[in-house]
Amino acid sequence: MCGIAGYIPHYGNAPNLLRLEEMCNRLVHRGPDAAGYFCDDRVALGHRRLSIIDLSGGSQPLGNEDGRIQVVFNGEIYNYRELRKDLESRHRFVTQSDTEVLVHLYEEVGERLPEYLNGMFAFAIWDGRNNEMFLARDRFGKKPLYYSFAIPGIRFCFASELKALTALPKFDRRVNAQSVADFLSLSYIPDPQTIYEDVFKLGPGHSLTVSWSKERLRRYWAPAFSMEAAHFDDAVEEIRSLAASAVEMRLISDVPLGAFLSGGVDSSAIVAFMAQHAPERVKTFSIGFTSKRFDELDYAHLAVRRYRTDHHEQVVSPSIHEMLDKLVEHYDEPFADSSAIPMLYLSRMTRQHVTVALCGDGADELFCGYRRYSFGLFEAKVREKFPKWFRQSVFRLGARYYPKFDYLPRVFRAKMLLTTMSQEMGDAFFTSMSTFRDEALDAVLSPALRRGLDGYSPREGFRKRFESVSHLHPLQQMQAVDLETYLPGDILVKADRATMAYSLEARSPWLDHRIAEAAFRLPPGFKVRGSVGKYIFKKAMSPYVAPQVISRPKMGFQVPLAEWFRTSLADTFQSRVMRESMGQYLSLGEVDRLWKAHQSGLHNHDRKLWSLLMLACWDARHRNGGEPSALQAAGRMEGSSSVV
C-alpha cells in the first residue's frame, strides 16, 4: 500500500523535483518505508512506499527493460503470480513484486490492462513511447485517485490524496458550492466531484489517458446485472467457494497480517476462512463502546472462541477530541460518516500488531444487507399497487401530519415510510439516505451559497442516476446506485483514510470482482426474502458463523453521537461551528435552532450536527492554511454558478 503523485508540465516547461518531493511528503503516512522519484523533461512521478510484498525489491517508480515505460502504483494485485507466469517467456523481470507485472502487461495490452487485474489499485503509467499518461482505478474504487487539469503551468496532475495536490503552487482552493450541498445532504461528496472546483476523482472502474493535446476517459468495467435462473443450492456453493478463494488470495503478504472483527456475519466469516489457511493463530481486532447499546464485543467473542484467535480489543469512551483533528487531517474533504471515529481507533490499535488487515466491506452492497433494500422492495410493490396520483395525495398528506418521534421504537416512526411511499424510486432512495434535504437544506445554507448553486439540487442527481438504470429490477437499481455513490464515496473512503492514517493496509475479500459478478447474476429473491437481507450470503456462511450472529439484525459501526453532543462535544460544537466565518456556508440562525432543539432532548439532530461540525473543522484546517479565506473566495462568486 502506498501513496502516488505526479504531473505533466505544460509543453515547453520542465518538471521540478522539489515540487514533486513536497507532494509526496504529504503522503508519508501512506508510505513511510521509502520514497522514489522519476523526472525527465516531460513528466514527474513520485511514490511513497509501505512495503508489503518483496520487501527488499519492488521500489518505485519502476520501469520496463528500456525505461521508456514507468509506473507508480498504490494497491495490491492478487493474481499477479498467474499473470507473471504468462509474461515471463516474453519479458525480463528484476523483482518479485506485483508492480512489475503492470509494466509488462501494459506493454502487451495497453489500456485494457485493468481488465486483467484482480485486486485493489490506483496507478499511473508514463508511456514515453507515445508521450502520454495512463491512469486506472480498481472496479469498486477501493484505492483513491484525484486529478486536475486546472493548475497554472501544469498540463495535468494526480495524487492519492487531495493534500498532495494542494502542495502545488497556485493551487486554487475555490470551493465547489454543489459539493457543499451534496455533503450536507449525503455526509460525503460523491464521485467524480470533490470539495474543490476543477479537481476530480477518477471514478471506480475507469481509466484516463492524457497527452499534451488531449485526454480520454474510459469506463472499462461496470456491474452487469441479470437474473439467471440458478438453482439456489448451486448458487450457495458458488458463493462459498468464491469466498474461500478470495480470502485465501488476500493472505499473500511478507509482513504480519490480521483481521477486523466487528461481530457481524461479514467479518466473522473472513476470520473463519483465514483460520483454515493461516499457518498460525489469526490475529483479530475489535472496538467496543462504554454504551452497551452500540457495543458488539459479545458477538465478536463468539468467533474469537470458536477459531481460537489471538484477539485484541479496545473500548472507546465518549472523549473523542483526540480523534477529531486526526479525522479532519486525513479525510481532506468534509466527511461526516461518524463511524470513521471507531475506524480510526481500530486502525491505530491494529497497526501496533500487524501491517495488513482483512475487513468485511462490500458484502452489504453486493448481497443487499441494508434495511433500505427491503424497505425499497416494499415501496416498489406499493407503487405497483397504487397509482401515482393516489400516493402523492394520500401518502404525502399522511406524512405531512404524522408526528415525528425521534426516540420511539422504529415501528412508531412511520413518517419517513409514508414520505418515501409517496415518491418515485430515485426520490425515495435519496430521502432515505439524506441528512439535510429539500427545505431543511435550503434553511441551513447561507444565501450566498444558495445563489452559487444556481438551482442545483442533490436530489436531482439521484433522480438521474436512477433513470439511467430504470430498466433493471428495483433491487438492482438500488444496488447499482449504491455502487456508484455510497460504496466508493463513503464506505471505502472511510476505510482507506482511517487505515492509511496509521500506515495500515486494509483488504476487502467480498469486493473480489468474481464474487461481485456472481452476485449480480442472482435473482433478487436470493438476496432479500421478506425483511431478511443478504439471505443467500448468510446461508453460504452459516457453517462458519455462529447462529446468533447469522440471525441478529444488522447493527453497523455506530457511535453515541446524540449523547456526545449533549456532553463531551457540546463546547466543541459551539466553538467551531458558531463562528462568524461559517456564515459563508451556513445560516447560523438555523444552526442555532437545530442545536437548541437537540439540547432540549425532544429531538435528535445528531447526524445534522455532526455534518455541520465536520464542515466547520474541515474549513478551519484545510481552507485557511495560508490560503485566501473562503470568505474572500465567496466574494468572487457573484456572476458565477459554481464558485463559493
Q: Is the pLDDT of residue 62 over 60?
A: yes
The pLDDT value given to residue 640: 26
Q: Could you give the percent of the chain with pLDDT greater than 70?
A: 93
Q: Is the pLDDT of residue 116 over 50?
A: yes
User: Beta strand 257-260 with 356-358: parallel, antiparallel or unpaired?
Assistant: parallel
User: What letter represents residue 394's amino acid?
Assistant: V
Q: Is the pLDDT of residue 604 over 60?
A: yes
The contacts of residue 567 (CB under 8 Å, 6+ apart) are 318
Identify the DSSP state of 40: -
The pLDDT value given to residue 1: 65
Q: Is the pLDDT of residue 627 over 50?
A: no
DSSP letter string, 614-639: HHHHHIIIIISSSS--HHHHHTT-TT
Mean per-residue pLDDT for 8-29? 92
Q: Write down the pTM of the prediction.
A: 0.93
DSSP letter string, 274-308: HHHH-SSPPEEEEEEESSGGG--HHHHHHHHHHHT
Q: Give the pLDDT band (50/70/90) at residue 264.
A: very high
Instruction: Render the burial of 505-522: b for 16+ CB within 10 Å, e for the rest.
Output: bbbbbbbbbebbbbbbbb
The pLDDT value given to residue 227: 86
Q: Cα(180)–Cα(452) distance, rounded to whole angstroms?
A: 10
Q: Which of 129, 137, 69 is CA-nearest to residue 105?
A: 69
Assigned C-alpha cell, 174: 475555490
Task: Choose between 325 and 5: higher pLDDT.
Answer: 5
Digit-coded pLDDT (tens) for 331-349: 999 999 999 998 999 999 9
> Residues with catalytic annotation?
2
Task: Choose between 642 and 100: higher pLDDT.
Answer: 100
Task: Choose between 51 and 527: higher pLDDT.
Answer: 527
The contacts of residue 165 (CB under 8 Å, 6+ apart) are 5, 23, 146, 148, 151, 157, 158, 159, 171, 199
Mean per-residue pLDDT for 601-621? 94
Q: Cα(171)–Cα(145) distance, rounded to whole angstroms?
A: 17
Q: Cα(476)–Cα(378) distance, rounded to whole angstroms?
A: 14
Q: Is the dihedral of CA 118, 124, 128, 132 positive or negative?
A: positive
Q: Is the pLDDT of residue 410 over 60?
A: no
The pLDDT value given to residue 228: 80
Q: Is the pLDDT of residue 406 over 80?
A: no
Digit-coded pLDDT (tens) for 146-176: 999 999 999 999 999 999 999 999 999 999 9
Digit-coded pLDDT (tens) for 422-435: 888 999 999 999 99
Digit-coded pLDDT (tens) for 65-99: 999 999 999 999 999 999 999 999 999 999 999 99
